[in-house]
Amino acid sequence: EAGVAQSPRYKIIEKRQSVAFWCNPISGHATLYWYQQILGQGPKLLIQFQNNGVVDDSQLPKDRFSAERLKGVDSTLKIQPAKLEDSAVYLCASSLDPGLYEQYFGPGTRLTVT
Amino acid sequence: GDSVTQMEGPVTLSEEAFLTINCTYTATGYPSLFWYVQYPGEGLQLLLKATKADDKGSNKGFEATYRKETTSFHLEKGSVQVSDSAVYFCALSDRGSTLGRLYFGRGTQLTVWP
């Protein structure tokens, strides 16, 4: 079965610019997660969707970050405007059911803000 | 709140050496514990897990035992190979929550030399 797909794999932007990341989860997976992984740290959850509804966005900096999941499948994470401290790898993961099943991770998008 | 502390790396070993990566946790509930591995250029993959005290998770020669009394979940392998070179993340999930949110440690870089 196909894994979690993410694009782009790499992105370099200047501060104050905007950027968007795309994620396509494993077919049939109702739960989708976006994590931020800063260099030298473990992944930190930004937002979690169950189908197309948000169930946890407590760690999402809502003044600059936004995310949506259309039709309960693909998802887009946007940063506008970007800051230097947003430089990180953005990981998307999906699972069949939260709390019961393994999370499957995509390869991530490495963002560099200059 | 819930958190995971991992031994700092990097860890450098010769092939066939014994590996231990320490992990301790703090949780308000009764967590499930995981080890994820991240090979260069790839997403995180679940290596093993344990859901209750004294459970032993194992996979690909790696083992970890859920020790409630010491709040630990140390990763071990008796004989490492060059192909085990990767970053290893300890993580927990609160089983009392339906969200399945993962809390990760900082990761430990393992390099195995032939």
Which strand ranges, in their side-by-side order, compose the sheet holding B62-65? B19-21, B75-77, B62-65, B56-59
CB contact under 8 A, A102 and B46: yes
CA dist B65 and B32 (Å) reads 12
CB contacts, 8 Å: A93 with chain B:
43-44
Do A106 and A43 form a contact (C-beta atoms < 8 A)? no
Interfacial B residues in 85-114 facing A (CB < 8 Å): 89, 91, 93, 95, 97-102, 104-107
B100 closest CB neighbour out of A3, A99, A107 = A99
- pLDDT band for position B97 (50/70/90)? low
A106 closest CB neighbour out of B36, B43, B49 = B43
Q: Mapping DSSP to helix (H, G, I), strand (E, B) and coil, where does residue A72 land?
A: helix
CB contact under 8 A, A91 and B4: no
The structure tokens listed for A67 are 């995310």
- pLDDT band for position B98 (50/70/90)? low
pLDDT 10s digits, A37-68: 999 889 999 999 998 899 999 999 999 999 99
- pLDDT band for position B96 (50/70/90)? low
CA dist B90 and B8 (Å) reads 12
- pLDDT band for position B8 (50/70/90)? confident
A8 has pLDDT over 90: yes
Instruction: Give the percent of chain B with pLDDT over 70.
Output: 96
pLDDT attached to residue A97: 78
Do A64 and A46 form a contact (C-beta atoms < 8 A)? no
Q: How far is B84 from chain A (nearest CA, A)?
A: 18
> Mean pLDDT across the stretch A103-107?
92
A82 has pLDDT over 90: yes
pLDDT 10s digits, B14-70: 999 999 999 999 988 788 999 999 998 888 999 999 988 999 999 999 999 999 999
Instruction: Give the percent of chain A with pLDDT over 70.
Output: 96
Q: Residues of chain A whose C-beta is under 8 A from some C-beta in B?
A: 3-4, 31, 40-45, 48, 55-56, 91, 93, 95, 97-108
How many helices (H) and strands (E) in chain A? 0, 11
Contacts of B113 (CB under 8 A, 6+ apart): B12, B13, B14, B15, B82
> Mean pLDDT across the stretch A22-27?
96
DSSP for residue B40: T
